Structure 1
Amino acid sequence: MNQQSQHLIFDLDDTLIHCNKYFELVLGEYFEQMTAWFEPYGLTTELVRAKQIEIDVAGVNKVGFASVNFPESLIATYRFFSEQYGRELNAEEEKQLFSLGMSVYEQEVEAYPGMVETLERLRGEGHHLYLYTGGEARIQQRKIEQMKLADYFDDRIYIRQHKNVEALENILTLKHFDRHCTWMIGNSLRTDVMPALSAGINCIYIEQKLEWEYNLVEINVKPHHVLYTVSALTEVPEVIHNHLT
Structure 2
Amino acid sequence: MRRNGQVLVFDADDTLWENNVLFERVIADFLDWLEHPTLDKYQLRAVLDDIQKANAVAHGYGTQMLLRSLADCVERLRHRPATADESDAIRRLAAVLTDQQVELIPGVAETLAALGDRHELLMLTKGDPDEQRRKIDASRLAHRFRAIEIVREKDDETYRTFLKAHALTPAACWMIGNSPKSDILPARRAGMNAVFIPNDHTWALEHGELDPGDERVLRLRSFRKLQDHF
Structure 1 and Structure 2 fold alike (TM over 0.5) = yes
Equivalent position SS for 1:209: coil
> What is the alpha-carbon distance in structure 1 between the residues aligned to residue 157 and residue 109 of structure 2?
30
Report what 2:218 is aligned to: 228
| RMSD of aligned residue pairs (Cα, Å) | 2.3
Give the 3 Å change call, closer, same or farther, for CA 234–116 of structure 1 in structure 2. same
1:109 pairs, out of 98, 102, 115, with 102
> Which AA in structure 2 matches 1:80?
R
Q: Aligned match of 1:51 in 38, 44, 47?
A: 47
Answer yes or no: is 1:178 the counterpart of 2:169.
yes
Q: Which residue of the other structure, out of 143, 149, 153, is the alignment partner of 1:151?
A: 143
Contact 2:104 2:139 in 1 (8 A): yes
Shift in Å, 1:215? 0.5
Distance 1:220 1:77 in 2: 35
After superposition, the Cα gap between the structure-2 partners of 1:115 and 1:2, relative to the gap in structure 1 and judged at 3 Å, is: closer
Query: Which whole-Å CA distance do the structure 1 matches of 2:81 and 2:189 have between them?
Result: 48
Cα shift at 1:186: 0.3
Distance (whole Å) between structure 1 residues aligned to residue 103 and residue 206 of structure 2: 20
Q: How far apart, in 2, do the equivalents of 1:217 and 1:47 lie?
A: 22
1:130/1:42 CA distance change after superposition, 3 Å: same
CA contact (8 A) 1:208 1:231 kept: no
Q: Matched residue of 2:162: which SS? A: helix
TM-aligned CA distance change 1:89 to 1:131, over 3 Å = closer
Residue in 1 aligned with 2:18? 18
Q: What SS class does the counterpart of residue 68 from structure 1 fall into?
A: helix
> SS of the residue aligned with 2:116?
helix
Q: Paired residue for 1:211?
A: 202
**Change in CA separation of 1:150 and 1:89 when aligned onto 2, cut-off 3 Å:** closer
Count of aligned pairs between the two proteins: 230
Aligned mates of 1:139, 1:89 — CA distance in 2: 25
Deviation at residue 152 of structure 1 after TM alignment: 0.4
Question: Once the 2 structures are TM-superposed, how far is the Cα of residue 4 of structure 1 from its aligned partner?
Answer: 2.8
Q: Structure 2: how far apart are the matches of 1:2 and 1:236?
A: 9
Change (3 A) 1:183 1:144: same
**Structure 1: which 5+ runs fail to align?**
241-245
Instruction: Write out aligned runs for 1:119-198 (5 A).
Output: 119-124=112-117, 126-154=118-146, 156-198=147-189
Q: Residue 243 of structure 1 aligns with which residue?
A: none
Q: TM-score normalised to the size of structure 1?
A: 0.85
